Structure formats: C-alpha cells, structure tokens
C-alpha cells in the first residue's frame, strides 16, 4: 500500500460526507464527564495521597453535579516519576491509590448510579521499570528487543536525530546494556513503545481488554500524537520564521517549540494503530468509547483524522481550547476551524485539566483581575457545555478555582522542575480539592501531610461554602447541567459560528432540522449589546445564569454574561446552513 503523507490523510478524512445533525445520538455525544485526578481528589486513609476509596466517598458529590460519568486519572502501579503516567503494571492498582477490590467497588457503585466510568490509559509508553522494558533493554536479541524504539548512536556517539522531548532535552537516552539509544517523547523514564510491531500492539490491546472485561465504559488514551514515530527516524526541520502555529506546553522558550514535528508527532503510521485500538473496544457490548488526547499538535485541524466515524477514536480530547489565545476573536477562529475540519469526527471540549493552567486564570485572566472570577468561570462553563461536542469538567473547575501561584519549593512536577521558571509545570492544576473550608488541608486528607498543599485562597471556595451559596459556581454548574439534559440540540445539533467581527461577543448557532439556538457569550468585563440587526428571534431562553434583558434593538449582556435565543428554522435558513 502506498504510504500516504499526513496532509493526504487529512484530505482523505475531510472529503467524507459530513455527519448530519442528529444522525447519530450515542450516549457519548454531548455527554459531560467529570475528570477525577485521584491523587488530589480525596485521601481516605490519611497518607496524603488521594485514593479510590476517596472517590467512592465522594460519589454523591459527583452524581449531584449531574454529569454523565467520570474519567479517572491513572491509578496503575507506577514509580510515580510522572505521577502515574509512567506505568509499571497495567493490570495492578498502585498501593498509594488502593486495591483492585476498591476499584471494583467503585465501578459497581458508579454503575448503580448510572454514572459511566472511564479510565486513563497510556498506550504509547510505559515506565522504564515495566517488565517489558526491562526485557527489551537487556539485549539486542531478546524476544522483546523490538518492543520499544531503539537506535544505534550516530558515528560520533550522538543520538540518531534531533528529536527533542517536550519535557526538555533530547528525546533519546543511551542505554549501556544494549549500547543503543531508546526514544522517549516525554521523560527518560517513559520509553516509547514500538506499536508498529504487531506483537507489541497486540500486547497493549490485551491490557485494554483486561479493563474492558472488568466493565469500564471507555478509555481516555493519553498522548495519541505519539502512537508512532517515523520509521526512518528522519530529522525534524526547524520552524519557519513564522513559527509553526501550534501551541505547545513547557513555556515560551521550550526548545521543543523550535521544531516542526513532522516526524515525531502525528505521523501517518499512527492511523493503522488507531484503527486497531478502535477494533479492540468494538469487540465489546454497550458502546465502549475511546477518547484520544491530542496534544503538541494542531488538534482542531487534525482531530478529524483521528476520529473518522466508525474507524477512529470516538472523540478527540482537544487541547486547542486549553492552549487558546485568550481573546474572543481567536476563540471564534478556532471554533470555526474545527467546524470546517471536523466532518464526521467528534471531540470533547476541555478548558482545564491536570496538565494545564486552570481555565479561569488562563483564558479569562482579565476578568479575574477585574474581580470577576466567579462570572468568568460561569461564562467558560457555558461555552464548554453549549459548544458542539462533549465536555469534560476538571475537578475544581466546577468551583471556579483560580490557578495558584506556586514557589519553586512547592513544585513536584518533573516537567516544571526541568523548565522552571519559564514554565512552572502542572502542579497549579493539581493542588488538592477543597472540600471543607474550615478543615485542615481543605478536608482533602485527615492526615497531616498532603503530597501537595492546598492552594492559597482555595479554602474560601471550598465545596461546603459553595453548596450554601445559591450564586456559587458549583450551584450554577449543577443547575446548568440539569437544565441541559432537556436540550438535545446542545448534544447532537449542528454548529455554526458567527463572525469574529462581533468580538468581544462570541456568537454561535446550534441547530436541528427545525430549531436554531443562538448562543451569545460576552468575552469582556464590560456590558455589551448584541444587536438584532436584520434577524428576528422567537424568544430568549430562560435557564440557569442566562441573561434575558431585551431592549429595542437587541439583547443586553452584562460583563461576562451569556444568553441563548431561539427560533424556528424555515427552508431558506436551512439551505444556508452548512
């Protein structure tokens, strides 16, 4: 078969007949999941590290958010060099997080409440302490010699090419046992699996089947931009003077950002692997799903390739919103771009996660600085829950937690340590969940040493306080999600974004065959008018947090306000829709 290059693959994907609104209505489209970063969620045994029993303890809380389910960050046996994303045994539970019995109890309890359970899974690398790697590195001839990506040194002893780790330094580490380099796109203790070896891929599929057999509803696959790398190990070119247009982590000066990642990220060889992974979940009843995390790349453009209807992942875990430039214009452009490219595929809207800056501080810093943190957090939740796609709410996001400032002494994240102070790492999003404003450590632990401290100011935003406050972020998210359940257009409808000229308003339409909802978000700290112009609406929707102040020529939106207007669609309008 001809080897298609990456551009051809995008072209092939977007030539597909686009998905019509409401033509597919599986549970996961438009679902809203809650991301539990176990380590920082709730510590039930006082050792300072969150655990599975802590999640069981808080299942009521998760259920009361009115989400459809949750996704658990990694809990597998791990040396914890990258806090669980360095897996030593895919089938075991790390002792710091609990036992297999705990997990089974959680799964059953969640299912009893009709909550879906997704787990995190790293298909493309393991810990360097995984027995597979121990065997692979032991010689050049062992049965697993080709399970990881190995290469001889260049003649001068240097690594075979210029690939860099996004966490800093070369992506190649010398192993004296084989006298060869191995490839690691992240930390040196996270060697990349060679999934182009069918035997390795089959082994990884079997690890997935282990969890699917236990009954998990899906897997969020970590870092799928790295499922494969160029078999010829070609060098990446430097970025052009215009930059490569892709937002990557690690701070503004991360050397990783100086390359165009043609050969180490999102390579054509990955798509065959994606199909195999999809086949694995399709072996199971009940529409188990795969959500693929696409980072380091232009994910709003490339998601289509990875989520082609029926062949790829069910949805992409999109990093573009997280990395977006915080302006209405830039957000409009991005939403537009995804609508152009995402024809048959799907994505999950994510504004915050355990790797990012918390969204309220990242995307709406201007509002936080203007004392409008709470309003900004509601606006972002509105965007997340009304844009096309599913949504994943990161723990604490429902509380509108701001991103804390951390001192170097507080940093636990190896990435942050590598690139400090240019990049502060991911710990700001990983401080412990504030449950109880008066309890030590916010009620995260009954012990005296949480692995990372409660962020300053987060105690005042603790769950117990917000529960009592009708205007709180928490109560807004609960109410909005409850309200959203009765609006299938938001889950399955089409989407069209209006012109960036309306900035700082972001305006987009969600539609079915007969109804259109026009969503308006005021991405500014000043009151704004949305002028009706030539258009006419049937009404302004009433719902949690929605603005409804109509004057003669339009709709008034307070600072960071948002609203939805509705109308019936006539034939003329229908023809104008994409």
Partner 1 sequence: MSQTKHTETSPHSAGAGAEAPQWWQGAVIYHIYPRSFLDTSGNGIGDLAGIRQRLDYVERLGVDAIWISPFVKSPMRDFGYDVSDYLEVDPLFGTMEEFERLVEEAHARGIKVIMDQVLSHTSDQHPWFLESRESQASPKADWYVWADPRPDGTPPNNWLSVFGGSSWQWEPRRGQYYLHNFLRQQPDLNFHNPEVQDAVLEVCRRWFELGVDGMRLDVCAFYFHDRELGDNPVNPKRPAGSHFLFNPYSLQLHVRDIGQPENLKFLERLRQLADSFGDRVLLGELHESEGEKLHREYTAQNRLHLAYGYWLLGAETIDAEELISTATALGHTLDDGWPCWALDNHDFTRSTTRLGRNKPQLALNAALATMRGAMCLYQGAELGLAHADIPYERLVDPYGREFYPAYLGRDGARTPMPWDDAAEHCGFSSAEPWLPIPENHKPLSVSRQDVTPGSTLNRIRQFLDWRRAIPPLRWGAMSFLENTGPILAFYREFQGARILCAFNLGEEQAHLFLPDEDLGEPMKGHGFTSFCSKDCVTIEPDEAYFGEVR
User: Which residues participate in catalysis according to the annotation?
Assistant: 222, 283
Question: Which residues does residue 394 pair with via DSSP β-bridges, in sequence order?
Answer: 35
Report how far Cα 25 is from the mean position of its chain's Cα atoms: 22
Burial 24-42 (b: 16+ CB within 10 A, else e): eeeebbbbbbbbbbbbbbb
3-class SS of residue 531: strand
| Binding-residue pattern over the window 37 to 76 for partner 1, x denoting contact by CB under 8 A | ----------------------------------------
| Contact between 170 and partner 1 per CB under 8 A | yes
**Residue 505 per-residue DSSP state:** E
Query: In the structure encoding, which two tokens stand for residue 431, read together?
Result: 């401080």
Report the nearest approach of partner 1 to the CB of residue 15 (Å). Answer: 33
Near partner 1 by CB under 8 A: residue from 46, 131, 198, 238: 238
Name the token pair of 325.
């430039």
Quick one: 181 or 444, whose CB is closer to partner 1? Answer: 181
Cβ proximity to partner 1: between 214 and 248 the closer is 248
Stretch that binds partner 1, among 268-276, 300-308, 417-425, 442-450 (CB under 8 A): 417-425
CA-angle at 336, arms to 361 and 564, nearest 5°: 70
Decide: is 127 part of the binding site for partner 1 (CB under 8 A). no
95 scored as a contact of partner 1 (CB under 8 A): no
CB of 89 to partner 1, least distance (A): 20
| Binding of residue 157 to partner 1 (CB under 8 A) | yes
The residue length of the chain stands at: 578
Residue 515 φ/ψ, nearest 5 degrees: -130, 145
Beta bridge partners of 550: 555
Q: Which of 63, 66, 142, 173 binds partner 1 (CB under 8 A)?
A: 173
* Euclidean distance between CA atoms 491 and 398, whole angstroms: 20
Residue 409 lies near partner 1 (rule: CB under 8 A): no
Name the one range near partner 1 by CB under 8 A: 44-52, 148-156, 466-474, 496-504. Answer: 148-156
Q: Which of residues 258-297 bind partner 1 (CB under 8 A)?
A: 258-259
Q: What Cα–Cα distance (Å) separates residue 534 from each residue in 485, 505, 554, 570?
A: 32, 18, 11, 15
User: Nearest approach, Cβ of 155 to partner 1 (angstroms)?
Assistant: 5
HSE at residue 156, side-chain half, CA atoms within 13 A, is: 2
Give CA separation, 553 vs 268, 444, 486, 493, in Å.
52, 50, 30, 28
**Site residues (CB under 8 A) for partner 1, limited to 418-457:** 418-423
* CB closer to partner 1, 145 vs 560: 145
Which two tokens mark 235?
A: 């060098």
Q: Which two tokens mark 403?
A: 């991103």
The C-alpha atoms of residue 397 and residue 481 are separated, in whole angstroms, by 14
Torsion, CA 220, CA 221, CA 222, CA 223, rounded to 10: -130
Q: How far apart are CA 389 and CA 385, in angstroms?
A: 8
State in angstroms the smallest separation of the CB of 158 from partner 1.
5
- Build a one-symbol-per-residue string for 240-259: x at contacts with partner 1 by CB under 8 A, - elsewhere: -----------x-xxxxxxx
- Please select the residue that binds partner 1; options are 174, 284, 366, 537, rule is CB under 8 A: 174
27 binds partner 1 (CB under 8 A): no
Q: C-beta of 253: minimal distance to partner 1 in Å?
A: 4
> Should residue 215 be labelled a site residue for partner 1 when binding is judged by CB under 8 A?
no
Site membership for partner 1, residue 339 (CB under 8 A): no
- What Rg value do the Cα atoms of the chain yield, rounded? 23
Is residue 179 close enough to count as binding partner 1 by CB under 8 A? yes
Query: Could you say whether residue 158 binds partner 1 (CB under 8 A)?
Result: yes
User: Quick one: which of 155, 242, 407, 576 contacts partner 1 (CB under 8 A)?
Assistant: 155
Buried b (16+ CB within 10 A) or exposed e, 395-408: bbbbbbbbbbebee
Q: Is 189 in the site for partner 1 (CB under 8 A)?
A: no
Please report which helix (H) or strand (E) contains residue 466, including its range.
helix 463-468
74, 168, 389, 404: which one binds partner 1 (CB under 8 A): 168
Nearer to partner 1, 179 or 568 (CB): 179
Which one, 172 or 511, has the nearer CB to partner 1? Answer: 172
| Per-residue tokens: 510 | 């969600």
- Give residue for tokens 């914890």: 80
CB of 176 to partner 1, least distance (A): 3
Stretch that binds partner 1, among 205-213, 235-243, 399-407, 558-566 (CB under 8 A): 235-243
153 scored as a contact of partner 1 (CB under 8 A): yes
Q: Could you give the C-alpha distances from 177 to 88, 133, 150, 156, 192, in angstroms and in order?
A: 20, 12, 12, 19, 17
Distance CA 219, CA 517 (A): 32
Given the complex with partner 1, which of 249 and 442 has the nearer CB atom? 249
Identity of the residue, 419 or 519, whose beta carbon is nearer to partner 1 in the bound complex: 419
- Per rule CB under 8 A, is residue 162 in the interface with partner 1? yes
Query: CB under 8 A: which stretch of 59-67, 73-81, 155-163, 538-546 binds partner 1?
Result: 155-163
The answer to whether the CB of 313 falls within 8 A of the CB of 271 is no
Is the CB of residue 210 less than 8 Å from the CB of residue 244? no
State yes or no: residue 537 binds partner 1 (CB under 8 A).
no
Count of chain residues binding partner 1 (CB under 8 A) = 33
Q: Which stretch binds partner 1 (CB under 8 A): 158-166, 222-230, 382-390, 521-529?
A: 158-166
Phi, psi of 138 (to 5 degrees): -70, -25
Q: Shortest Cβ distance from residue 260 to partner 1 (Å)?
A: 9
Q: Tell me the CB-side half-sphere exposure of residue 161, using CA atoms within 13 A.
A: 25
Work out which of 20, 24, 91, 177 binds partner 1, going by CB under 8 A.
177
- Which residues of this protein are in contact with partner 1, per CB under 8 A? 153, 155-158, 162, 164, 168-170, 173-174, 176-177, 179, 235-238, 251, 253-259, 418-423
């Amino acid at each position: 078969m001809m080897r298609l290059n990456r551009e051809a693959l995008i072209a092939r994907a977007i030539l597909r007949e686009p998905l019509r609104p409401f033509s597919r209505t599986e549970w996961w489209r438009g679902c809203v999941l809650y991301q539990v970063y176990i380590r920082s969620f709730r510590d039930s045994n006082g050792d300072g590290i969150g655990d599975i029993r802590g999640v069981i303890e808080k299942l009521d809380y998760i259920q009361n958010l009115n989400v459809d389910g949750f996704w658990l960050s990694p809990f597998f046996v791990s040396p914890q060099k990258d806090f669980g994303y360095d897996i030593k045994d895919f089938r075991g539970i790390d002792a710091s997080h609990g036992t297999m019995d705990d997990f089974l109890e959680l799964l059953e309890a969640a299912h009893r409440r009709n909550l879906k359970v997704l787990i995190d899974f790293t298909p493309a690398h393991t810990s360097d302490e995984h027995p597979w790697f121990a065997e692979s590195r032991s010689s050049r001839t062992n049965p697993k010699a080709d399970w990881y990506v190995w290469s001889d040194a260049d003649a001068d002893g240097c690594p075979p090419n210029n690939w860099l780790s996004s966490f800093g330094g070369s992506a190649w580490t010398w192993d004296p046992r084989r006298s060869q380099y191995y490839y690691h796109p992240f930390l040196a203790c996270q060697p990349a699996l060679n999934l182009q070896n069918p035997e390795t891929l089959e082994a990884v599929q079997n690890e997935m089947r282990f969890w699917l057999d236990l009954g998990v509803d899906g897997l969020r696959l970590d870092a799928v931009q790295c499922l494969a790398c160029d078999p010829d190990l070609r060098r990446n070119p430097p970025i052009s003077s215009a930059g490569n247009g892709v937002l990557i982590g690690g701070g503004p000066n991360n050397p990783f950002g100086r390359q165009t990642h043609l050969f180490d990220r999102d390579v054509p060889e990955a798509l065959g692997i994606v199909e195999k992974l999809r086949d694995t979940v399709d072996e199971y009843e009940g529409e188990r799903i795969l959500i693929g995390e696409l980072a380091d790349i232009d994910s709003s453009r490339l998601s289509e390739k990875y989520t082609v209807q029926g062949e790829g992942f069910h949805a992409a875990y999109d990093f573009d919103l997280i990395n977006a430039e915080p302006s209405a214009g830039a957000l409009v452009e991005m939403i537009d771009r995804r609508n152009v490219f995402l024809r048959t595929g799907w994505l999950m809207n994510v504004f915050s996660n355990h790797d990012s800056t918390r969204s309220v501080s990242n995307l709406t810093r201007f509002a936080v600085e203007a004392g409008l943190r709470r309003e900004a957090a509601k606006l972002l939740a509105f965007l997340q829950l009304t844009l096309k796609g599913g949504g994943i709410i990161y723990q604490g996001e429902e509380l509108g937690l701001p991103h804390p400032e951390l001192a170097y002494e507080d940093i636990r994240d190896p990435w942050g340590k590598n690139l400090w102070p240019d990049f502060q790492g991911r710990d700001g999003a990983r401080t412990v969940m504030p449950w109880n404003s008066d309890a030590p450590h916010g009620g995260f632990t009954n012990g005296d040493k949480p692995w990372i401290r409660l962020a300053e100011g987060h105690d005042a935003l603790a769950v117990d306080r917000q529960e009592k406050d009708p205007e709180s972020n928490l109560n807004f998210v609960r109410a909005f999600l409850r309200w959203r359940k009765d609006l299938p257009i938001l889950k399955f409808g089409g989407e069209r974004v209006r012109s960036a000229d309306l900035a700082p308003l972001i305006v987009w339409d969600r539609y079915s065959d007969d109804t259109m909802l026009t969503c308006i978000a005021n991405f500014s700290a000043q009151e704004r008018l949305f002028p009706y112009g030539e258009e006419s609406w049937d009404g302004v929707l009433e719902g949690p947090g929605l603005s409804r102040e109509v004057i003669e020529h339009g709709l008034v939106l307070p600072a960071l306000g948002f609203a939805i207007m509705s109308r019936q669609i006539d034939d003329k309008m229908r023809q104008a829709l994409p």
